[in-house]
Amino acid sequence: MKNLIRIFLFIAALPLLATAQSNYKPGYVINLKGDTLRGFIDYRGWDTNPDVIKFKQAQTSTVERLTVNEINFFSLDKVVSYKKYTGTLSMDNANPDNVQENRDTTFKIASVFLKVLQKGKNVALYSYSDNIKTRLFIGDQPNYQPAELVYRLYYDMEAVKIFEHGRTVNENTYMSQLYTLAAKYNAVSTALQRDIEDSAYREYYVLQIVKKINEAVK
């Protein structure tokens, strides 16, 4: 019986052991001085953007824990890249399953790693996901400095005074931001305008628009 219990406990612990295992992939980091250091990064699949990464310059080297205080950029070869960003992060909840009352413009200043979704000749698209929501950022050349694409979803209680009932508001500021960049890089067309107007605030949809802006010839 004791042996059966040991076997059962071992099998039950296998998922935890697998999770604890490292998964080092070839990649590189760029430190605050601008130096590029090649090595291996422990890739965790990150559903939310990482605050810290494990890095070693060789498979047998000591593991370093690196944050935005030590590096400006890191990349796993042909997998994913992250860029340091210091600036505002919107803090409103845009969950359609739990719409908040009234417009929320709160934000915080933070230094975080943004995921690089695409960096083209004209613009770059980034994302930042935490336990509140996923935010999209865009920047254009020459320095591709990220700025948050703004989207808010809320229940407007002020409308009760006028319409005797509230209303759900989709504040799609990101659409005008995308259109402005499309115009700047001569990417405006009837098709692209329709794509912007029909887009949802999701990585996939915005990425298709960014690809077209990057294909344009200024």
DSSP string, 9-38: HHHHHHHHHHHHS--EEEEEEEETTS-EEE
| 60-86 core/surface letters (b: 16 or more CB in 10 A; e: else) | eeeeeebebeebbbbbbeeebbbbbbe
Pair 98, 72 in one domain = no
pLDDT band at residue 30 under the 50/70/90 scheme: very high
Whether residue 188 is found in the same domain as residue 103: yes
Of 29, 44, 78, which residue sits at a domain end? 78
pTM beyond 0.95: the answer is no
Q: Looking at the structure, do residues 74 and 89 belong to the same domain, yes or no? A: no
Q: Are residues 72 and 169 in the same domain?
A: no
205 in the same domain as 118 = yes
The phi and psi torsions of 135 (rounded to 5 degrees) equal: -110, 145
Q: Which of 58, 78, 98 delimits the end of a domain?
A: 78
How confident is the model at residue 112, as a pLDDT? 98
pLDDT at position 181: 98
| Cross-strand bridge partners of residue 114 | 83
Please count the CA atoms within 13 angstroms of the CA of 90 that sit on its side-chain side.
19
Q: Are residues 117 and 103 in the same domain?
A: yes
Closest by alpha carbon to 112, among 75, 68, 147? 68
Q: What is the pLDDT of residue 96?
A: 86
| Whole-number CA gyration radius for the chain | 22
Confidence class for position 160, pLDDT limits 50, 70, 90? low
Residues 74 and 114 in one domain: no
Chain segment 186-215, per-residue pLDDT in tens: 999 999 999 999 999 999 999 999 999 999
**147 and 164 fall within a common domain:** yes
The answer to whether residues 94 and 9 belong to one domain is no
Please check whether residues 117 and 204 belong to one and the same domain. yes
Q: What is the mean pLDDT of the chain?
A: 90
Q: Whole domain around residue 141: which residue ranges?
A: 83-218
Q: Cβ of 41: how many Cβ atoms within 10 Å?
A: 25
The whole-number average pLDDT for the span 145-160 is 89
Longest dimension (CA), the chain: 75
Question: pLDDT of 57-90, one tens digit each?
Answer: 998 999 999 999 999 999 999 899 999 999 999 9
pLDDT value of residue 218: 67
Give the pLDDT of residue 102. 87
Residue 6's pLDDT band (cuts 50, 70, 90): low
Query: 208-211 long-range CB contacts below 8 Å, 24 or more apart?
Result: 209/178, 209/182, 210/117, 210/118, 210/120, 210/123, 210/125, 210/138, 210/178, 211/118, 211/120
Residue finishing a domain among 44, 78, 112: 78
Number of domains in the chain: 2
Least confident of 83-87, 94-98, 155-159, 197-201: 155-159
For the domain that residue 28 is a member of, what is the CATH number? 2.30.30
Note whether 17 and 87 are same-domain residues: no
Check pLDDT > 70 for residue 162. no
> 95: pLDDT confidence band, cut at 50, 70 and 90?
confident
